[in-house]
Structure 1
Amino acid sequence: MPAPAHLLPAPPALTEAEQALARWEDDGGPAYEPRPGPQAGQWLRIAAALGERLPELAGREDVIVTCGHGTRSGAPAAFYPVTVQLEIDAALFAPLNPATIDPTRPGDEENYPVAWGAFTHEAAHAAHSRWTTPPPLRGTALDTAAQMLEESRAEHAHLSRRPADRTFLRSAVHALVLGDFTAQTPSDRWQAAYAAALILARRDAGILDPDETQPLEHTVTSILGKDLLETLAHIWTAAHTTADEDGQAMLEHARAWCQALGAAPDQPEPAPDPRAGRTGELAEAIGTVAATVTANEAGHRAAQARGDAARSARSRAKADRAAQQRQAEKTAEKVFAPGARPFTPQSQRGRGRRATSPVTGTRAPTPAEKTAAGHLARALRAAAYRERTVTVTASAAPPGRLNMRGALARDAQRAAGATPTAQPWITTQRRQSPTPPLRVGIAVDVSGSMRAAAAPIASAAWIVAKAAALTDPDSHSATIAYRRALTAITAPGRVPARVTEFDADGGGHSLADAIDALSAGLGLTTPGAGRLLVIASDGYYRPEEAAPATERIAALRAAGCAVLWLAFAPEPYPLPGATVLELTDPAQAAAAIGKAAAAALANTTP
């Protein structure tokens, strides 16, 4: 078998036709300009782009890269050390349209891993194959053995600099190796050793995995025998540690290779022996290896693509949540600003007439409402109360209370000559646990179908706000009346002196935006407080109104915030995710909200 066609000192000699054309030009004839092939301009652009990327791979800027249909050596790719040229066959990029290929774009190589793997292999030669066989020895078995050992040595050296290129070198194994073996290749000793040098040596270089190369190893072992294969493995392992410029050492490795196989180093490589084994056996085994590697790499890329997609989805979701949070904070600022007018969210703008406030006026709280606020405040304080924590520690010395049993045990240990381990002094520490604050957000539907609930919810909003203020200075509540626009009835941190009354005569339902404003204004997603969202509505929403509100409810529940849905209509349609409480009398709303708020406080870990 000839030396690897993709690592020749210089391009092949001119053909007779090329020599005739050269003589024609020397005699004064017009220069021959071959007719450009299809998309030739694109391949010139790609070659120039590959030339720009080559210093990144090889650390050299003096290599000329060409890319076209076929190569002068006939190999898929080739590097010529003497002329410092690298060529790559455009067929390796199939089936991509060359117009879509842009090697200057980072990551574009993922679209053509086989071509990039062949390019990387030749770049490895450009970086590390710093020696050539002396001209008198070219074409000999020694030359062939040296060049085959150089294949895995160059890739091994390349991986020490750029380990991430392993996946591309693996993808190109089929293109770089399988072409050297055909169905007519006999299974003699020289060919089997050649196959081992191209595949098993790549395993030991860290490019292929042992389970992938097992079919060829089994075939080669049956031909060469275990001892001879181990001898050859020692040779290619030694070659992997040889310096880039040490051509003499590589030739010595090649000489040992020839001696192990009984081949004359200064003669051409042994002719194929058609009597040795079944023809095509090596090609079949190498094909199995290449197919396995290709399948493994495809699976790896698919898994990586799924992982990238998942990470991208998580990043988009995180960005969406951050954007939603920023928008919620802006909405809360507009809704709860002192003296703010009704705020119409972007999703509701352009629908109907200009938003008007549902607020009809204010009134003084009734004695019954004041009493209800006081009762609720006491209930909330009781729910927020936490027993003191008691910590008992033992020590060998004061302070603390002396435990006589422990003291006697310590004296007995000392009298027995043992090291005293008893700790007779007991210290008890009692600490008051902090009481968690309360956060209650009330979203009340003020569309036309909720008119009967307007007055009871207005009363409940004042009662809850007053009770929260009486419970803890850090406890807050807020109420928003929503239809198309959002109107603040009570605001976080502001205790209303009067009851704000409102009417329910509007259209539309901006519940999602109301939840956003309450969540941002009260911190309903922040742990450490008793958190409750109350929605008072009949649930008669359009699908585009219900879907985002359902998402907000689910997010709050996931964050640990309780969600209570108060329904008053005979046939309500509450959104999923909330705890539904149907009230036959709207006047029961304040008591229901108070009970749910107390439960939220009781279940809170400060």
Structure 2
Amino acid sequence: MPAPAHLLPSDPAVTDTEQALARWEDDGGPAYAVAPRPQDAHWLRIAAALAERLPELAGRDDVIVTCEERTRSGAPAAFFPTTAQLEIDRSLFAPLRPAAINPNQVGDEANYPVAWGAFTHEAAHAAHSRWSTPPPLRGSALDTAAQLLEESRVERAQVSRRPADRAHLRAAIQHLVMPDFATNGPTDRWEAAGAAGLILGRRDAGILDPDETEPLHHAVHRILGEETLARLQMIWTAAHATADDDTSSMLAHARAWCEALGAPPDQPQPVPVPGNRSGGGELAAAVGQVAATVTANEAAERTAQARVTAARASRSRAKATQAAQSRQAANIAEKVFGPGNRPFTPESQRGRGRGGHAASPVIGSRLPTAAEKAAAGRLARALRMAAYRERTTTVAASTVPPGRLNMRGALARDAQKAAGALPTAQPWIRTQRRQGPTPPLRVGIAVDVSGSMHAAAAPIASAAWIVAKAAALTDPDSRTATIAYRRALTAITQPGRVPTKVTEFDADGGGHSLAEAADALTAALDLTAPGTGRLLVIASDGRYRSDEAARAADRITALRAAGCAVLWLAFDTDPHPLPGATLLELHDPAQAVTAIGQAATTALTATTP
């Protein structure tokens, strides 16, 4: 059984260097000088950083930490309670270079999990190993059993205080404890029991999982028998509940361990009979299976954690992108609808076409015709019907009027009174009807005034006025805005203002800034905010460059996802609407009334009041 030689009750051995330094005061010779190696300074820095991190693990600030090329204990890491020293082997940090190790930085321990696991285990001893075997019993079977039980006891106490340390302790067990068993398999009952105490004991301490240790459990069960294994399990379970400074209880548990295995407590631990390998190969194979299962589970855990981390990072990037787009949209809306009402060229369109300030596409305005007024009135009625909410009806029972008297309830109440019972019947039925809130409309209109829309300029101007006027007539809280777009954006109707005249356009420009027009309308009208009926109307033939179409399609997708309906009005025989928009092919602007009314109905129905 691998001896737990890393919790040493005596002072650490004195090295040759320390002996040379400890000269008599009257020795007149020069002091012993050690020639430092380049990496020693790094290891001193690492040891100091580990000492700074130790209080968070052990709750102690009096422990000295050293990183040794060869530890004085011979173990990968050790803790000396009498001198409050903790040493750790530098090889545990391999293959990292010392310059790349920075324990001061929280999270850096993920780069050397085995070293940090060993460090955490020794920190658990520093925090919880407050008892020691009396000197006369040191080196005996009782001392060995007590130190074995202490291994899982301190780890259980550590994860009870700091559950996150479990992952690091598992790494140390996987790479430092199990390989010892796999190469030097237990050869007798004493060593088989030791394997159970060190590995199965950590299962019951919550460090390892039952499915991981099942092969070893079956192997030890066949060697020790059911009764002995159950007795040992009771012993290490009792040790887990023992206080940190309860020396007598820990020695009693160790004595019971020796008695269960037939070993004299005050004698050295049993030595395996030479040549007797009974059960050794089976136990070594079982420990190998445990290690393989732990490795697989850790890999699966890392993969799952990586997915979670990637998902969080993706959500964080999405939120950052959305916030940046919102700020950009608010900036564009301020430029488009701000004072002066001058055409605004977005950054994506600058450098294209002629230089200088963009010209406005507006060439004049006229009074609406009787047909356009009638169409606006019909559309307004359709929008009001879409916004109508049926009254909700609530039926409530009561012990007193007003309401309709229910005779069955009245008789039940009289019977309860006659029987001397507390009346609970409610004979009065009251019906309440309430009108649900009607959400206002938010309608954004984007009109394409590029050169390909020249023939449709007049009907588009008419349709834009009809939609804007109808939305304004539905509710005092409804708001609408209109933007004409080509390379530059021009505000036609300011948010919240009712158009009195039909604005006429000159469709002869180049470029298509539909994405930026949608951003400006979204920011000005809150088209992504719930609580209103939201609608974006686009009048265009859809003949865009691929980059313009891609950016505009992203905006349409985002609006649809936020609950905003998107209509695409086309006055061309071969329209190219973008994905996500509902196409309405028209020849007469008045034809849009019914279709827009239906679309608004859908949008308002989905609105949460």
TM-score by structure 2 length? 0.90
Query: How far does the alpha carbon of each residue in 1:496-530 deviate from its partner, in whole angstroms, 9 at most, with x for none?
Result: 22222221222222111111111222222233333
Query: Distance between the aligned counterparts of 1:432 and 1:23, measured in 2?
Result: 95
Whether the 8 Å contact between 2:459 and 2:588 is mirrored in structure 1 is no
Alignment match, 1:540: 543
The farther-off stretch of 131-140 and 101-110 is 131-140
Alignment match, 1:282: 283
Query: Distance between the aligned counterparts of 2:606 and 2:271, measured in 1?
Result: 86
Amino acid at match of 1:114: V
Q: CA deviation at 1:187?
A: 2.6
Query: How far does the alpha carbon of each residue in 1:196-233 deviate from its partner, in whole angstroms, 9 at most, with x for none?
Result: 11111112222112222111111112111121222222
Q: What are the equivalent positions in structure 2 for 1:100-499 lying under 5 Å apart?
A: 100-181=100-181, 183-273=183-273, 274-275=275-276, 277-352=278-353, 353=355, 354-395=357-398, 397-402=400-405, 425-499=428-502
Q: CA deviation at 1:29?
A: 7.2
SS of the equivalent of 1:535 reads strand
Relative distance call for 1:77 and 1:380 in structure 2 (3 A) is same
Query: Distance between the aligned counterparts of 1:563 and 1:237, measured in 2?
Result: 67
- From 548, 551, 566, give the equivalent of 1:563: 566
Q: CA deviation at 1:408?
A: 7.5
Amino acid at match of 2:106: P
Whether the 8 Å contact between 1:171 and 1:293 is mirrored in structure 2 is no
Alignment match, 2:71: 71
Percent identity between the aligned chains? 73
2:519 counterpart of 1:505: no
Q: CA deviation at 1:125?
A: 1.0
TM-score by structure 1 length? 0.90
Query: How far does the alpha carbon of each residue in 1:223-257 deviate from its partner, in whole angstroms, 9 at most, with x for none?
Result: 11121222222222222222223334323322222
SS of the equivalent of 2:266 reads coil
Whether the 8 Å contact between 2:79 and 2:85 is mirrored in structure 1 is yes
Alignment match, 1:580: 583
Relative distance call for 1:266 and 1:397 in structure 2 (3 A) is closer
Whether the 8 Å contact between 2:560 and 2:580 is mirrored in structure 1 is yes
Whether the 8 Å contact between 2:563 and 2:606 is mirrored in structure 1 is no
Query: Distance between the aligned counterparts of 1:402 and 1:2, measured in 2?
Result: 87
Q: CA deviation at 1:189?
A: 1.1
SS of the equivalent of 2:280 reads coil
Alignment match, 1:56: 56
Unaligned segments of structure 1, at least 5 residues: none
Q: CA deviation at 1:413?
A: 9.2
Q: CA deviation at 1:271?
A: 0.9
Whether the 8 Å contact between 2:186 and 2:284 is mirrored in structure 1 is no
Alignment match, 1:549: 552
Relative distance call for 1:433 and 1:90 in structure 2 (3 A) is same
Relative distance call for 1:601 and 1:174 in structure 2 (3 A) is closer
Whether the 8 Å contact between 2:13 and 2:72 is mirrored in structure 1 is no
Unaligned segments of structure 2, at least 5 residues: none
Query: How far does the alpha carbon of each residue in 1:160-193 deviate from its partner, in whole angstroms, 9 at most, with x for none?
Result: 2212211111121123322543545443111011
Query: Distance between the aligned counterparts of 2:202 and 2:118, measured in 1?
Result: 15
Q: What are the equivalent positions in structure 2 for 1:8-23 lying under 5 Å apart?
A: 8-10=8-10, 13=13
Whether the 8 Å contact between 2:563 and 2:603 is mirrored in structure 1 is no
Whether the 8 Å contact between 2:223 and 2:279 is mirrored in structure 1 is no
Query: How far does the alpha carbon of each residue in 1:315-374 deviate from its partner, in whole angstroms, 9 at most, with x for none?
Result: 221232233223323322332234321222233334332322212222333333333323
The farther-off stretch of 513-522 and 38-47 is 38-47
Whether the 8 Å contact between 2:345 and 2:488 is mirrored in structure 1 is yes
SS of the equivalent of 1:532 reads strand
Query: How far does the alpha carbon of each residue in 1:417-459 deviate from its partner, in whole angstroms, 9 at most, with x for none?
Result: 9998876544333333333322221111121111122222222
Whether the 8 Å contact between 1:459 and 1:590 is mirrored in structure 2 is no
Query: Distance between the aligned counterparts of 1:10 and 1:422, measured in 2?
Result: 82
Relative distance call for 1:279 and 1:28 in structure 2 (3 A) is farther
Relative distance call for 1:143 and 1:55 in structure 2 (3 A) is same
Relative distance call for 1:42 and 1:570 in structure 2 (3 A) is farther
Query: How far does the alpha carbon of each residue in 1:31-63 deviate from its partner, in whole angstroms, 9 at most, with x for none?
Result: 363673x74443333222212111111122222
SS of the equivalent of 1:125 reads helix
Amino acid at match of 1:268: P
Whether the 8 Å contact between 1:393 and 1:428 is mirrored in structure 2 is yes
The farther-off stretch of 571-580 and 463-472 is 463-472
Q: CA deviation at 1:576?
A: 0.6
Relative distance call for 1:585 and 1:121 in structure 2 (3 A) is same
SS of the equivalent of 1:298 reads helix
Q: CA deviation at 1:122?
A: 0.7
Amino acid at match of 1:436: P
Relative distance call for 1:424 and 1:130 in structure 2 (3 A) is closer
Whether the 8 Å contact between 1:196 and 1:217 is mirrored in structure 2 is yes
SS of the equivalent of 1:199 reads helix
Q: Between Structure 1 and Structure 2, how many residues are aligned?
A: 604
